[in-house]
Structure 1
Amino acid sequence: MNLRELYIEQLQDIYSAETQLVDFLHQLSWKARSTGLKQALGNHLDETKGQVDRLKQVFANHSGANPDGHTCQAMKGLVREGKEALDTHGKSEIIDAHLVANASRIEHYEIAAYTTAISIATSLDYKADVELLKESLKQEKAASNDLEKMAGGGIFSQGLHAAAAK
């Protein structure tokens, strides 16, 4: 395997992660109780669709590269954990805290994936790819920051007293 092949494999992993996330974010936004969290998840769903489109543009820059050549097992696991939380706590007062915790882990995974892809693309002098990938990374960082603000703003303590009273 050479660096270009590793790069394409990394892009396939990100593409798989993002396409899995499109379906999952839709489910999360419906389960959220907080209006702010519903809105943030809905906005990130729209951004994620745009990220999938940008990845398709990146693949178009590389003849013979197929975006569907790999399944991201990490995202598959993160989605599975999120679905387990929805099944277990979907009607409880702490569902929003669960959603924020799961979404934060997902964002950090995506930030790491895009950062790595950008580093490889930079090494290969794929300037057009770098610009497209940086746009997605910027969105992932903003989504992570939004989730951190929600966590710091008390979403983890909402419903705490009601849950403790049961």
Structure 2
Amino acid sequence: MLPQPRRSISTRFMLLCSSTRSIPTTRAKREDQYRTLRYTLGSVVVLFSPFSARSLSRLLHKQEVSQTLEDLLAILDIAEDQTRPLRLHHPSFRYFLLDRDRCGDSKLWVDEKQAHRTLADNCVRLMANSLKQDICSLDTYGVLVTNIDSSRV
């Protein structure tokens, strides 16, 4: 059992989470919504450096991320400028989501190892889709950067 101050703040966090989203009518849609919420919030709370909304959406490769972020304005500080970093309004919310006992709701609880694994998988996917060999189109290998015209770099 959690001490009274922790139980009180955990209860407030639960109420906050439940008030941030509309509840879909079908079970499948509800499960998908919780999965997206966990996926999005999990990414925000485990990242060592905060990402912007735009970067997070691109990394997670999900269209629902933008809508989910909009639903989380009570939890996250989201700047109008989509390139500014996302921030939690209350830093202890991170610990609430990552602690199974404090969170108390398996639909919201974020498994930290799984969240890191998901982020790593998405980083690899993004790099595999974005990076290419010979980015300067030199058609030769082993050229020193000092020997390349600066307009090509």
**Structure 2-normalised TM-score?**
0.33
Higher relative contact order (CA 8 A, sep 6+): 1
**Structure 1-normalised TM-score?**
0.32
Larger radius of gyration: 2
